[in-house]
Amino acid sequence: MPLIILASKEFSASYLRGLFITKDTIRIQTPKTGEKEHATPLFLTSSFTYDSAEEMASAFADDTLDINIYSRFSNPTVDEFIDKIVALEGAEAGIATSTGMAAIFSTFMTFLSKGDHIISASAIFGSTHTMLTKYLPKWGIECSYFNMSMPEDIEGLIKANTKMLYLETPSNPGLDIIDIELVAKLCKKNNIMFVVDNCFATPAVQQPIQFGADLVLHSATKFIDGQGRVLGGVVVGKKDLIQPLYLFIRNTGPSLSPFNAWVLSKSLETLFVRMDRHAENALKIAKSLQGHPKISRVKYPFLETHPQYKIAKKQMSNGGGLVTFEIKGGVDAGRKFMNALKMISMTSNLGDSRTIASHPASTTHSKLTEQERNEVGITPGLIRISVGLEHSDDILDDILQALAKS
């Protein structure tokens, strides 16, 4: 994709070394300092200085990002990370946050007010569900859920006060897929802001803006970091939407630290290579587990048995790094499987270079009622595998030996 960027700061000619056009983000980098470093510098500073009182006054004269004031507002290292995500997603502008949940909360609080209505996919991350059902109602914001497998139901949920539609695709943890372009057209027809969580796919696999999304957000903690080191979030989209979002984050404080931004920015240099390997391993694991006597179902976007396989092939370049399967025997069998793992990690993260297993019914989605879990496909024996970069045979061997003991 050609590099056409309007990000947190306008690009100078030197930023792209004489307006050199690139098809990836490896060469997007903060302008070199007088030290002529090759690796990008880390601006680990809380504030910035000025040469005169007039220059300082000018910096505070408006609410743009053109002059650095304070790292809660903007920071060159954070800007570089934002610029890379903007380029990868094909967006106009972006803003970074301290975590993925901060990105989601900031988006809701910036664009939703008392009396507004949001439509959300029911298959979403547990903390997002809690935000929609426990906290937004305190501020007079109502929510309606729809089933990802029945997008035809969305139009019937639209009200005069509907301001936003939110979804994840692939969803967490059920790996449900929805046609982004179809939903985008419906939102545009009804003047509804369309927000897509692209965390599971990453911009290396899917670019929702290309299919009509207004805003795209990520928990950068996951595949964007890729090694389970730091927390971060980011939102990108149309410039006129990012400006009010920036002001909310600037004034309320969920800003991304420069150090975390530096780590995430370096991680982006290997994102495409990593996502190819994640997907290659995941597809092999998914195919190998099909038909296993202790598994009732395997789900992966690029398996032909996936209900939305054709849609996944349309809008994703590969199937991503997540595989789910249902172990026969319910919760007890699921826990026995988890306890029998030898190499694969048990942790609440995903998108790591190391393979991770989780049992959503007893962890990430345990606060949902049984009915709510069933409605989004989180069955008692569901196992989610975040397939890492190890040799695929090693990953599969560990899964198979744990299944034998479950």
Strand partners, 297: 326
The yes-or-no verdict on residue 15 having pLDDT over 70 is no
Q: At 317, which CATH number? A: 3.90.1150.10
- Residue 369 is predicted with a pLDDT of 74
Residue pair 346/337 in contact by the 8 Å Cβ criterion? no
The enclosing H or E element of 311 equals helix 309-315
Q: Which of 207, 239, 270 is the last residue of a domain?
A: 270
In a domain, 338, yes or no: yes
Q: At 242, which CATH number? A: 3.40.640.10
pTM: 0.91
Strand partners, 357: 346, 385
- Residue 24 is predicted with a pLDDT of 64
Q: Which of 270, 302, 320 is the last residue of a domain?
A: 270
If pLDDT is split at 50, 70 and 90, which confidence band does 253 have? very high
- Residue 394 is predicted with a pLDDT of 98
The yes-or-no verdict on residue 202 having pLDDT over 70 is yes
The yes-or-no verdict on residue 311 having pLDDT over 90 is yes
What percentage of the chain carries pLDDT values higher than 90? 76
Residue 194, SS3? Answer: strand
Distance CA(52)–CA(68), nearest Å, equals 14
Distance CA(264)–CA(271), nearest Å, equals 10
With 0-12 CB in 10 A as exposed, 13-18 as middle and 19+ as buried, what is 53?
exposed
What percentage of the chain carries pLDDT values higher than 70? 92
Residue pair 398/343 in contact by the 8 Å Cβ criterion? yes
If pLDDT is split at 50, 70 and 90, which confidence band does 266 have? very high
Q: What is the average pLDDT value for the chain, to the nearest integer?
A: 91
114 and 240 inside one domain: yes
204 and 306 inside one domain: no
For the chain, how far is it from start to end, CA to CA, in angstroms?
46
Supply the range of the domain harboring residue 77: 14-270
In a domain, 5, yes or no: no
In a domain, 227, yes or no: yes
pLDDT digits (tens, 9 = 90+) for 324-338: 999 999 888 999 999
**pLDDT average, residue stretch 239-248:** 96
pLDDT digits (tens, 9 = 90+) for 350-366: 999 999 999 988 777 67
46 — alpha (psi -120 to 50), left (phi > 0) or beta? alpha
The yes-or-no verdict on residue 278 having pLDDT over 60 is yes
Question: Residue 155: phi, psi to the nearest 5?
Answer: -60, -35
The yes-or-no verdict on residue 320 having pLDDT over 60 is yes
User: What is the four-CA torsion angle of 15, 16, 22, 23, rounded to 10 degrees?
Assistant: 10
Residue pair 212/233 in contact by the 8 Å Cβ criterion? no
The yes-or-no verdict on residue 78 having pLDDT over 90 is yes
Question: Residue 218: phi, psi to the nearest 5?
Answer: -140, 145
If pLDDT is split at 50, 70 and 90, which confidence band does 13 have? very low
pLDDT digits (tens, 9 = 90+) for 36-74: 888 889 999 999 998 999 889 888 887 666 788 888 999
77 and 125 inside one domain: yes
Residue pair 221/352 in contact by the 8 Å Cβ criterion? no
184 and 291 inside one domain: no
- Residue 28 is predicted with a pLDDT of 86
Q: Which of 270, 285, 318 is the last residue of a domain?
A: 270
Q: How many domains does the chain have?
A: 2
- Cα distances (Å, whole numbers) of residue 141 to 113, 134, 169, 217: 7, 10, 24, 21
- Cα distances (Å, whole numbers) of residue 133 to 138, 167, 176, 230: 9, 15, 21, 28
The yes-or-no verdict on residue 219 having pLDDT over 90 is yes
Residue pair 351/387 in contact by the 8 Å Cβ criterion? no
